């Protein structure tokens, strides 16, 4: 039974660490959108070079693709948890979740019974 509680505590600590580790790094947008936009611009250039699209349509499509590419780019990365107080809140929330789980188990569970 003691091993079970030790494993539960380790799992909770690991979950809290994972959240805090991720929160220390700024959130950056995925480069998938930017890569897709660049690929679209390259494809438009290839179509123009092969003569499959007229220059007027190429210019309009390229301008629209460029606008979408610029609109999807944020001004700066956003921090997930900016302050120390936010990180403390995450730790306290994880701790309260563990305490709530133990309290519910103590009220509803049967810790003295053998496994069935």
Q: Each residue of 52-91: pLDDT tens digit?
A: 989 999 999 999 988 888 877 665 555 555 567 777 777 7
Please tell me the predicted confidence (pLDDT) of residue 36.
80
Strand partners, 27: 78
Q: How many Å apart are CA 116 and CA 110, to the nearest integer?
A: 12
Whether residue 82 contacts residue 26, with contact meaning beta carbons closer than 8 Å, is answered with: no
Closest CA to 23 of 71, 109, 86: 86
Question: Among residues 95, 100, 105, which one has the least CA distance to residue 15?
Answer: 95
User: Are 94 and 12 within 8 A, CB to CB?
Assistant: yes
Average pLDDT in the 19-41 region? 69
Q: How far apart are CA 3 and CA 14, in angstroms?
A: 16
pLDDT of residue 96: 86
**In the prediction, which pLDDT does 27 show?**
55
Q: What is the pLDDT of residues 8-28, one digit of tens each?
A: 778 888 887 777 776 666 555
Q: How many CB atoms lie within 10 A of CB 40?
A: 17
The residues, ordered by sequence, that sit 6+ positions from 79 with a Cβ below 8 Å of its Cβ are 23, 26, 27
């Amino acid at each position: 039974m003691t091993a079970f509680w030790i494993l539960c505590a380790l799992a909770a600590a690991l979950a809290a660490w994972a959240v805090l580790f991720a929160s220390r790094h700024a959130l950056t947008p995925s480069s998938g959108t930017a890569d897709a936009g660049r690929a679209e611009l390259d494809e438009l250039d290839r179509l123009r070079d092969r003569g499959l699209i007229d220059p007027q349509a190429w210019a309009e499509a390229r301008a629209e693709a460029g606008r979408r590419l610029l609109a999807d780019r944020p001004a700066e990365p956003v921090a997930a948890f900016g302050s120390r107080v936010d990180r403390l809140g995450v730790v306290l929330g994880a701790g309260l979740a563990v305490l709530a789980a133990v309290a519910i188990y103590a009220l509803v569970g049967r810790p003295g019974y053998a496994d069935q």
